[in-house]
Amino acid sequence: MHRSQSRSSLIAISGVSVLLLSLPAPSGAAPPRELQIGMPGNAFQAEFKKRVAAKFAPLDFSSHHGLRGKIVVAAIWEKRDTGRFKMKAGLSRNELEKEIKSSADAGYRLEHLTAMGSGGKPQYSAIWSKTPGQRLAVRFGYPEKEILKLHGQFTGKKYAIHRIMTIDDGQVRYTAAWEQADGDVRELQLGLSDAVFQREVRNRLKTGFRLRQAFAYVDRRRVRIACIWEKADGPPQEIRVGLTPAGLNKLHEQLTKKGYVPAQVQGYAVNGRDRYIAVWEKP
């Protein structure tokens, strides 16, 4: 079977070079996907509108403060013929809560949520899709012990963890979303070091778990990782943490040649330098 080669290129968005890792899919395989990193935050809304108009769906996205505190966005796009999406950026907690409710009433499901701290006033960006979904519960700004207590309570009510992220306003605090999902087996882990996370990856993948989400953050100058695991069938995953932009590009090309497609990406900063957690799957 002929397999198209991957393509990497630099594109200009608002005068800034953005790395676009394009992945044409072979005939009869999964839809084409493209991975973008290094996108300036103030350009993402325009990019989102352009992509959705061109029938690309936002498969994943994240934002973080990069060099000199500028917002940097990473995203994965998948070519689809159907789907309606909307995005809101720079929302306060109250604005996000109102938007979650109004969007649910209009039939939109919260798919992606990212957050960053700013002088004690966190801002949120979110993407919704016009698809049926389970009821969501979102809780904001809790310390680790309290968010784990809430997780246990929601699990007892037959909710499953959907998204996890942190805000650092002098103290790491967690924002999390749960969805009604009776029967789903999902587990939440917080505060993992790089080494412990990689050990968890090896052990979990051997026992039928899949990485649903990973979120890296810095706590007291050390990188920590929060993650959600799901007991479910699915294609093989390749998971890496601590990738530089150049390292991500190189690994993406290597895995593409082996038939993998990008599935998740999350950027974070270490001493002002961009780093990434990324997940690829082999359909």
103 CB-near residues (< 8 Å, 6+ apart): 86, 110, 128
pLDDT tens for 21-32 read 554 444 445 678
Range scoring the smallest mean pLDDT among 1-5, 205-209, 275-279: 1-5
pLDDT in tens, 226-278: 999 999 999 999 999 999 999 999 999 999 999 999 999 999 999 889 999 99
The model's pLDDT over 108-152, given as tens digits with 9 standing for 90+, comes to 988 898 877 655 677 889 999 998 777 889 998 899 999 999 999
Nearest by Cα to 177 from 168, 188, 185, 169:
188
Write the DSSP string, 164-203: EEEEESSSEEEEEEEEE-TT--EEEEEEE-HHHHHHHHHH
Note the pLDDT of residue 272: 86
pLDDT digits (tens, 9 = 90+) for 59-69: 999 998 887 77
DSSP-derived letter for residue 71 is E
Residue 11 has pLDDT above 50, yes or no: no
What does the mean pLDDT of the chain come to?
86
pLDDT of 6 over the 50 cut = no
CB 238 within 8 A of CB 283: no
* 165-184 tens-digit pLDDT: 998 767 889 999 999 987 78
User: What does the pLDDT read at residue 5?
Assistant: 42
Q: Let me know if 202 is exposed, middle or buried by CB neighbors in 10 A (0-12, 13-18, 19+).
A: exposed
Query: Which one is predicted more confidently, 253 or 81?
Result: 253
- Rounded distance between C-alpha atoms, residue 31 and residue 261, angstroms: 10
Q: What is the pLDDT of residue 4?
A: 39
41 or 169: which leads in pLDDT: 41
- 75-95 average pLDDT score: 89
Strand order in the sheet with 136-142: 136-142, 172-180, 159-168
Residues 6 or more apart in contact with residue 205 via CB below 8 angstroms? 237, 239
pLDDT tier for residue 18 given thresholds of 50, 70 and 90? low
Please state whether the predicted TM-score (pTM) of the whole model is above 0.85. Answer: yes
Residue 14 has pLDDT above 90, yes or no: no
Q: What are phi and psi of 119, to 5 degrees?
A: 60, 35
Q: Does residue 91 surpass a pLDDT of 50?
A: yes
Give pLDDT, residue 66: 80
What percentage of the chain has pLDDT greater than the value 90? 60
76 near 142, Cβ under 8 Å? no
Q: What percent of the chain has pLDDT over 70?
A: 88
Q: What is the DSSP letter of 15?
A: T
Q: Which residue has the tokens 């082999």?
A: 282
Residue 222 has pLDDT above 70, yes or no: yes
